[in-house]
Amino acid sequence: MRIIFFGTPEFAVASLQALVEAKMDVVAVVTAPDKPAGRGQQIQASPVKVYADSVGLPLLQPVKLKDPTFLAELAAYKADLQIIVAFRMLPEAVWNMPPLGTFNLHASLLPQYRGAAPIHWAVINGETETGITTFFLQHEIDTGDLLFQETEAISETDTTGELYERLMNKGGALVVKTAKAIESGNIHPTPQQEITELKSAPKLQRSTGEVHWTRTGKNIVNLVRGMHPFPGAHTEFQGKNCKLIEVEFHPEVIPDLGVGIWDTDQKTFLRVGCSDGYINILEWQMEGKKRLKIEDFLRGYNFNF
């Protein structure tokens, strides 16, 4: 079975590597074009390209997925199956090309958390369980027939980064399992069940990570966990933007510590009132500075209140 793999970020590398190590016949890899990144804006290859190059896999890096030249190159590989992991939306001319179809790995238990950021939103919303799904592509995003699903527990302390690692590795194994099942004909695609309370996972905006102290402490802690390590929850402190890395909630109402009011002994704690108690800042990163435990920050900061 000839396979073409589509993917770009680190999350996709685990799946591609799992296919290669399982001796599946990956005949080509499609990934994003090289682009400027970082402070120096130097041209960088995607993590998938770096891995594909390291194992000698042929690469395609189309700018436009409907480009006739790209479509002809893709067709020339005569793939039986295409596999998508963390890639942009495909036109039908691409996903409908191979005879065995095209399947995608998505980091949620579909139909819940369709969209671009399922891991982040599961943590932000305080879920205790999520998972991974493989499904055949069709016209509407993340709506195709289900192939396999596996669950993954979310603890009260998990960050998006920690959950991302676990789902990335679990996803690699599920991609191989799905590809082998398709090759053997042992699959039973199941239509997604539309339920009344669907939670979505839209692309993250800067406003997503803004902390509103009028929320409950639990919601604020979940937001900080869900936005760590990227792109980060943030708040303003004395006119400067601060990225919150670790916080804890105390369900205790302190007189004079109202919603959004800051308090510190300038030695051991920095806290702020929320709707049902207060939040202790444990670690953060002030704009233009390095990340610091709050005790280290307090030792070197001149307060003006």
Write out pLDDT tens, residues 161-198.
Answer: 999 999 999 999 999 999 999 999 999 999 999 887 99
What's the distance, CA 153 to chain centroid? 16
Q: Is the pLDDT of residue 301 over 60?
A: yes
| Residue 305 pLDDT exceeds 70 | no
DSSP code of residue 259:
B
Q: What's the pLDDT tens digit per position in 203-219?
A: 999 999 999 999 999 99
Binned at pLDDT 50, 70 and 90, residue 304 comes out as low
Question: What fold does the segment set 2-184 form as a domain?
Answer: Rossmann fold (3.40.50)
Dist CA 193 CA 154 (whole Å): 23
Residue with tokens 């995003």: 141
Is it the case that residue 65 has pLDDT exceeding 60? yes
Looking at every residue in the chain, the average pLDDT score rounds to: 95
Q: Spell out the CATH class of 206-299.
A: alpha beta
pLDDT for residue 239 is more than 80? yes
CB 181, CB 81: distance < 8 Å: no
Domain ranges of the chain: 2-184, 206-299
Mean pLDDT, rounded, for 48-60: 98
Mean pLDDT of 80-105: 97
Determine contact, residues 137/104, Cβ cutoff 8 Å.
yes
Query: Quick one: how many helices (H) and strands (E) in the chain?
Result: 8, 15
